[in-house]
Every structure is written in structure tokens, then in C-alpha cells.
Amino acid sequence: MSASRGEFTSRFGFILAAAGSAVGLGNIWGFPTQTAGNGGAAFVLVYLILAFFLAYPAFMAELVIGRHGQANAVTSLRKISNNSTQRIFAFIVGFGGIVCAALILSFYGIIAGWMMSYAVEPVTRVVGLTAVGDWVISQSLARNLLFVSIFMFMTVSIIRFGVEQGIEKWSKRLMPALIIILLSLIGYVMTLEGASEGLQAYLLPDFSRVLDPNLLVSALGQAFFSLSLGTSVMIIYGSYISRKENLVTLGAQVTLIDVSIAFLAGLLIIPAMYVAQASGVTIFGEDGSLVSGPGLVFSVLPALFDGMGSMGVLFSFAFFVLMSVAALTSSISMLEGPVSYVVENHGVERKKATTLIGIFILMLSCIIVFNLGTLLDFVATLSTEYGQPIIGMLCCIFVGWIWHRNNLLSELQSGYEGVEHSLFWKIWPWYTKLVCPLCIGLVFFNSL
């Protein structure tokens, strides 16, 4: 089996692919939106702390499980189990992660479809197809079905080609494009009236809110979602990393890129909201808080673009292309979890498995589209607020309590011989064993 498995051809390839999974709508939409809804800079501060002190150790747990197992999540977790009860537990956790990834993709694809439709709209205006433009940005069953299908088609097309020719090749193309578009947009927004007020709201924390339980829960959920934890994705990406690579630094680099891009997205969105306000758009809701959620991306920002004349058309196009690209590099990772499991454990050929699973997830998306008002929130809550933290916590328990410490050490030593004497090895094992499961559990139960 291992001879036919793919592997990232370089550390750069892995970093871009894993960062591609991590950087998505969660960073560019979720993070700024949560920041707006949770008191601005106080949220940013708590997020940064939780991302490095809770999400990074949990992320390392998943990567090391995958690199050791050199297989999909179920098989990798089974390889570190010591008896039949643990192997059953391994199946539940691994398969649970795969289901979670599939559920996330089923609603994520719908939102990504909206982003694509908003990217198409400025193009229709330029070529004079105004009626088509109005249709693509109006909520309708047909529009939603069309765009989620296009998005899923793109995701399936990339995953069919496997690790090197699919995931790695496309991550290397899309991620630099994403960073260039993001930086250009920030540069432009900063020149506009109102941006500096937005910068202040984003960067000056109100310390009284830092310990607010709601803020803590939202920040942890956001950090887990952003690093794609608890979904089997980082286990499978870990399994494609060569044994020559130093996992500790690779994991830290990906976390840093993920957090930095979320931070940059905030530098774009929050000032853009205040720019919109300066040109007459309402950015505060009735309760006095900043508009967040879909209202922010699909009404405040388009209103801002509309007021910018011809520059606004270009800006709007670039912004929604940015969103779509970010969504695509994440969705391919979500599909890879279930596909690798079916290919490796059920002997189905990759292209066939990808198409079948893609169609199955698209059908789930269609069911959600038909019941948008009830199912979208339900599936999102189930998978991201329950599934991800629980499975992420169980992966930490596997590493901390089930995996023999010496075996864990020898896995980390490949690619990093001196790890035994590093600060990482002094802190991380007990951190993953005690602090991570406890904190994740506490925050999770608090949210119930």
C-alpha cells in the first residue's frame, strides 16, 4: 500500500498545502466576523493566545499520528492502539473525524458557492449582463444549487489527481495568489477615509472583555476550525510528510501562517467596514455592535464596493475571488480525508472514490440547500461546535494516554534528532496529555 501512497515532494509543498487547508473562509470571513461580534481587539488577543497554546499542540498531535501511521486517520490511530478496545476507539475517533470533514464540506461548499457567485457578478456587469448579475447574487434555490455544484466539481477535479499533482500543485498556485490579492486589497483600503478608525477598533483591546466566557468559547472554536482540527485532515496531511522533515517546526510554520493570514484578513475587513461607514453605510446593528455574519460579507462590503465606482467593480471581483480561492484550498483537504480512507481501506481506485464521495457530499449539500433555514446552521453547529472539539480532544488523549511515550519520541526524532533535549519535548507531551484535553473539555462544556 505504501508504495502507491502519495507524498508531498517538498517541505514547501506541505507547508502550502496545510496552510491552504487552514486558511479558508474561517480566516477571511469567520475571524474578522467574530472579531467584529466580540469586542474587536480583545477577541484578537484571546485568539492569538489560544491558537498558539491550545490549537498548536493539538495540531501537532494530529500531524504526528498521521506521519507515524503513514495512512488515513482510522488506520493511523489503530497503529498506535495497544489492544482491541483501543482499536475500536481508534475507529470511532478516526471515522468520526472523516464524517466531520464530510459534513463540514457539505455546508462549506454552499457558502463557497455564494462567494463564487459574488465573484461572477462584477464580471456580468462589465459585459452588460445586468439581469444575470442580479440573479447570481439573489438568494434562490437554482442559484445555490448551480454554484455549489460548480464548486464541488472543482474540488473533485483537484482531488482526483492525488497528492503531488492535485493537492500540492494547486496549493502552490492558489496560495501565493491568495496572499497577493489580500495584500493588494489591504494596501488599497488603507488609503481610504475611515480606515484608521477601523484600525483602532481592531487593534486596541478592551481588556475587560478578555475573560468573557462567550468570547473564550468563540475564540477556541475559531482556532480549531481554522487549523482544520478534529476532522482527520491534519492526520492525513501528516501522513504525506516525509520522515526526513522536522514536524515540530513544520507545524509551527503552518500555525504561524494561518494566524497571520487571519490577522491580515482582519486588517482588511474591519477597516473596510469603517470606510463603508464613512460613505454612509450602516455598520452597527440595533444593539450597537458591529454587523457580523453574512450581513457583513454580503451587504456591508458590497455596499462599500458599490460606492467606489469603477474601482469598486475591480475591488469586488478581487475580494470574492480571494474568498473562493481560500475556500477551494480548504475544501480539497476536507475531501481528501474520506477519499484516502475509502482508497486505502476499501481498495477503491482513487478517481472513482473521489467522484463517488464528491457526488455523495454534493447530495448532502443539496438537501441542505432545500432546507437552508433549518439545516445550514444545524450542520455547521453539529460539525464545528461539537464534532471538531470532541474529536480534537480525543486525538490529544490518544497521543497523551495511549501512545507509548518512547515510540512517540522516536517518531518525532525522525527529522529532528535533538528533539529529546528541546523545549518542545519538555512541555508538549504533558501539555497534550493534561492541559489540552482539560481546557478543550472545559471550554466545550461551558458552551453547552
Q: Which spans of this chain sit near ligand PFF (rule: CB under 6 A)?
A: 21-22, 24-27, 101, 104, 225-226, 228, 231, 233, 330, 333-334
Cell of 410: 522516536
Q: How far is the CB of 181 from ligand PFF (least distance, A)?
A: 16
Residue 47 sits at the vertex; the CA angle it makes with 240 and 200, to the nearest 5 degrees, is 130
> Considering the complex, what minimum distance in angstroms separates the CB of residue 158 from ligand PFF?
14
Q: How far is the CB of 330 from ligand PFF (least distance, A)?
A: 4
Which is nearer to ligand PFF, 26 or 122 (by Cβ)?
26
User: Measured from the CB of residue 406, what is the shortest distance to ligand PFF in angstroms?
Assistant: 31
Tell me the C-alpha distance between 99 and 71, whole Å: 17
Q: In whole angstroms, how close is the CB of 278 to ligand PFF at the nearest point?
A: 29
The closest alpha carbon to 102, from 231, 224, 225, 230, belongs to 231
209: left (phi over 0), alpha (psi -120 to 50) or beta: alpha
List own/partner pairs for 86-93 with CB under 8 A and 24 or more apart.
Answer: 86/402, 89/394, 90/398, 93/391, 93/394, 93/395, 93/398
For residue 395, give the nearest of 19, 102, 92 by alpha carbon.
Answer: 92
Buried b / exposed e over 345-377, threshold 16 CB at 10 Å, is: eeebebeebbbebbeebbebbbebbeeeeebbe
Q: Which is nearer to ligand PFF, 147 or 424 (CB)?
A: 147
Nearer to ligand PFF, 117 or 222 (CB): 222
SS3 284: strand
Nearest approach in angstroms of CB 252 to ligand PFF is: 17
Q: CA angle, corner 407, sides to 404 and 409, nearest 5?
A: 110
CB of 26 to ligand PFF, least distance (A): 2
DSSP string, 374-386: HHHHHHHIIIIII
Tell me the longest C-alpha to C-alpha distance in the chain. Answer: 66
Grid cell of 190 as nine digits: 488603507
Q: Which is nearer to ligand PFF, 154 or 419 (CB)?
A: 154
Distances in Å between the Cα of 423 and the Cα atoms of 5, 123, 248, 427, 428 are: 33, 52, 11, 6, 8
* DSSP letter for each residue of 48-83: HHHIIIIIHHHHHHHHHHHHHHTS-HHHHHHHT--S
Q: What is the residue whose three cell numbers read 450581513?
A: 295
Least distance between ligand PFF and beta carbon 210 (Å): 23
Closest separation in Å from C-beta 421 to ligand PFF: 33
Q: CB of residue 54 vs ligand PFF: minimum separation in angstroms?
A: 16
Q: Closest CB to ligand PFF among 231 and 292?
A: 231
**Cα separation, 264 vs 23, whole angstroms:** 11
Q: Which is nearer to ligand PFF, 110 or 412 (CB)?
A: 110
Alpha-carbon separation of residue 322 from 230, 316, 319, 325, 334 (angstroms): 26, 10, 5, 5, 19
Query: Quick one: 94 or 122, whose CB is closer to ligand PFF?
Result: 94
